[in-house]
Structure 1
């Protein structure tokens, strides 16, 4: 029994350090919204509420690392780690931006007891550095379901120039590009 417990503990420790190369990063990156929802509560009927679903991501984005794309190659930016995966960070940014810019009640998909109202889903295609053009790029293919029979899709993309391929330049540029896309999505959804 002791041996089995030691093996399980060793495996857990090995997996814990796996994503970060075994050492703890000195800094974790996060997305911050340009606008936030007021602290006062909101009331809405189900037709005006919106549920923002976590976007799907390609395998290269399913990590806390910042991808660097050059042609068909993908590497990762040295010493740059997100606090969470881009799909979760972007969903929270979208929710905050849509709520602030449209005045709508924005629901989390985990709020199962509520009618989800409109549902925003999509795929986060790009969320990293385009090394060929030296630009932070965010590409989001959105799908908005307005009821059971009406779905509209649209692609949103923002590119922000980057002076150097390091976390001090890439992270703020990605934050700006993500906010630009979120603002465009909020405008598309409307109030």
Structure 2
């Protein structure tokens, strides 16, 4: 698996292979309950840690952090993650109206995500060709729309072993890990929003 440090990749002169995650091969039937009460959530801009917020694919071995050579995400990772999460909401909870902060209503809970792990982790033994394990971890918070105080907070994590030490297999493992995390985030945030009393009318004035 060719790896390169951050600076070494920039001058390779070869076009990078571009990859995506969170895009289903086919659109499955919606799994949400058609008769569920409508819910609106305002999704804040998803924040990634600085080393993973761009379009490079991060790997780690022990204390060393490298990027996969000649491979990038087709868009910045936060954008692809936002799209993957929106697809999960559309599939798992079609009664939920997911809005940006600008579009959200005054009584809609705010969903904020901080992704701090988004990497392919190798074992410490550099002599082996063992495929990496993909780590995706995020802290999700639901905020009061008026005070921006945290109502609920939870960490969601997933590990997914790549089947091969190859770019396509590593990207496929990223896709599975993102899918697992986003499904859990959808279930938790929708369940919390449905059980929380609505914001009092006087508070929105």
TM-score band w.r.t. shorter chain:
0.7 to 0.9
Query: How far apart are the structure 2 equivalents of 1:36 and 1:105?
Result: 19
Give the number of equivalent residue pairs.
166
Q: Secondary structure at the match of 2:74?
A: coil
Query: How far apart are the structure 2 equivalents of 1:146 and 1:85?
Result: 28
Deviation of 1:164 after TM superposition, in Å, equals: 3.1
Q: Is the 8 A contact 2:121 2:133 kept in 1?
A: yes
Q: What is the match of residue 31 of structure 1?
A: 21
The match for 1:141 among 139, 143, 146 is 139
Q: CA separation of 1:167/1:145 partners in 2, compared to 1, >3 Å: closer, same or farther?
A: same
Query: How far apart are the structure 2 equivalents of 1:60 and 1:80?
Result: 16
Please give the residue correspondences for 1:108-127 in structure 2 after superposition, counting only pairs within 5 Å. 108-109=100-101, 112-115=102-105, 117-127=108-118
Q: Is the 8 A contact 1:125 1:140 kept in 2?
A: yes
Q: Secondary structure at the match of 2:39?
A: coil
Q: What is the match of residue 106 of structure 1?
A: 98
Which TM-score applies when normalising by structure 2? 0.70
Structure 1 unmatched runs, 5+: 1-17
Query: How far apart are the structure 2 equivalents of 1:33 and 1:184?
Result: 17
More helix by share: 1
Structure 2 unmatched runs, 5+: 1-8, 124-130, 192-205
Query: How far apart are the structure 2 equivalents of 1:37 and 1:53?
Result: 27
Query: 1:2-37: CA deviations, max 9, x gaps?
Result: xxxxxxxxxxxxxxxx96755432x31112345679
More strand by share: 2
Q: Secondary structure at the match of 1:105?
A: strand
Which TM-score applies when normalising by structure 1? 0.74
Q: What is the match of residue 120 of structure 2?
A: 129
Q: What is the match of residue 175 of structure 1?
A: 175
